[in-house]
Amino acid sequence: MDAVSSSLDQAADTLARRTRDGTLERMAQHLGSTFPVVRHLADDAVASAVERTLARAREREIEHPLDYVFISARNALRRAAKRSRREASPSELVELRATPFEPDVHSEAELDRVRAGVATWKNANIRAVMLVVIDAAREGEYLTLREITDAASATLDEPLAAGSVKTWKRRGIKKLVEQFNLHIPDDEET
């Protein structure tokens, strides 16, 4: 028996053992949680990686077949996640809710003061996004990221990317807290 045949037998034996003891299943779960946008592909990525590992073991010796499977599956999921983000349209992005301002803005006068201050901000993008969010808060509405993006795009009369709007909203909220000493509740979706 030559070294390559021995390597193939060892790799097949190791991977069969790891399948039986649940290691490959746990690997798929771990990779799925690492790349949640393509979690549904994790089992298939591990299975394909096992096939690639066995095919490679036919050609050359593989000392650590489990490591080879992990790296191969991880790389496949990383590529799929990048592809998924590139191909997603703004409407497919996770919709986010506007952060409410009710805790510190108790009156129309206070809201008007905050809105007037935001209207003086130099960055037109952050200003437009935050004015949309403030106006929604005045009405007691919680807008999705898509709705904020559409409204800010209309205000600026140019198309805006949802990812940029999310960043501008986050920066605007930080600026509101600093400039107006507002307490804005943590919003994990922001």
**Interval 72-115: pLDDT, tens:** 898 888 888 877 766 654 444 433 333 344 434 446 777 788 88
- Which of 37-41, 163-167, 175-179 has maximum average pLDDT? 163-167
pLDDT of 56-69, one tens digit each?
888 888 888 888 89
Segment among 41-45, 135-139, 149-153, 184-188 with least mean pLDDT: 184-188
Residue 72 zone, left/alpha/beta (φ > 0; ψ -120 to 50; rest): alpha
Among 29, 58, 87, residue at a domain's last position: 87
- Is residue 67 one of the residues assigned to a domain? yes
Say whether both 119 and 83 belong to one domain: no
CA 56, CA 181: separation in Å to the nearest integer?
Answer: 61
User: What pLDDT score does 3 carry?
Assistant: 63
Domain count, the chain: 2
CA distances for 127 relative to 40, 115, 117, 132, 177, angstroms: 39, 10, 10, 9, 14
- Is residue 103 one of the residues assigned to a domain? no
- Is residue 171 one of the residues assigned to a domain? yes
Say whether both 126 and 157 belong to one domain: yes
Q: Which residues constitute the domain of residue 60? A: 3-87
- Is residue 187 one of the residues assigned to a domain? no
